Amino acid sequence: MRLRLRHQLRLRFPEPVRNLIAVLRMAPRSHEGQRVTNWRIDVDPDCLLKAGEDHFGNLVHTLTLPGTVSELSIIAQGELTAFDAAGIVRGSAERLPVDLYRRDTTLTAPDETVRRFASEAVQGADSPIGRLHHLMGAIHERIEATSETGAILPAARSLEAGRGTAREHAQLFATCARSLGFPARCSAGYYLDDGTASRRHSWAEAYVEGLGWVGFDTVHDICPQDHHVRVAVGLDAVEAGTLRSAYGVVPEESVEVRWLLGRDPGPLAATPS
């Protein structure tokens, strides 16, 4: 599936922010499940934008804006082809040993309730991949999917509440999978609902011996397909998040994602793969 994607963030600050520094994860990398043809990021007002890579292998852009700013607009856009790889992630940029993804963070620390839920969820499964599919289905049934607003809850609190955003779904799956002995992580990107609409989305990935990294989208109860675009990974949803900044004031954030199919969004600069 060939896609043209445009993602805009508008941040309006209640009070002017001085010397803004932010890290953006808004550039997807190519792997066997997707091929990025071109990509660019534009920021208004003009600023210093430095491209790089973090320790997870994500493409990152560090934004530095001296002086004061009351409003910030960031547009990421480009063209890519997505393939249905049955959820298996091959050819991705892996910078860390697999066992590091057994590590818990504050947001993914399991409690006894989480461990018990995970153990009960995989009963009857006869293979490692089967256990993970059972877990995906159990979270899909147990946790009501909600829109992405507010702070990200830890996995244990999401399970207790019985509801959570896609990011919280991903964190709960990663937490449960680690408690079962699987290396696991959160993945962030986009999901195409149909031929015209899309949104930011999150899912999880677990490492299975003999297969490698496999994605699990508990919101939709499917492994990622060609309707998913993978952008970043991390130990939790914050580490895989689109935007991290240091400004002392929490901004209002407005997100618009537009999939441009069959329409030319203009010339685009090449991106590293």
Domain boundaries, the chain: 2-81+241-259, 84-234
For tokens 């955003």, the residue is: 165
The pLDDT confidence band at residue 157, using thresholds 50, 70 and 90, is very high
The pLDDT confidence band at residue 14, using thresholds 50, 70 and 90, is confident
Average pLDDT over residues 82-110: 95
Compute the distance between CA of residue 249 and CA of residue 11 in angstroms, rounded to an integer.
Answer: 11
Question: How many CB atoms are located within 10 Å of the residue 193 CB?
Answer: 12
Average pLDDT over residues 21-25: 92
pLDDT, tens only, 105-117: 999 999 999 999 9
Task: Find, among 161, 153, 165, 42, the residue nearest to 106 by Cα.
Answer: 153
What average pLDDT is seen over the chain? Answer: 88
Token pair of 214 as six digits: 């496999």
pLDDT greater than 60 at residue 265: no
Where does 2-81+241-259 sit in CATH, by number?
2.60.40.2250
The pLDDT confidence band at residue 273, using thresholds 50, 70 and 90, is very low
Predicted confidence at residue 193, as pLDDT, reads 74
Top-level class of domain 84-234: alpha beta
pLDDT greater than 50 at residue 12: yes
Task: Find, among 29, 30, 26, 34, the residue nearest to 1 by Cα.
Answer: 34
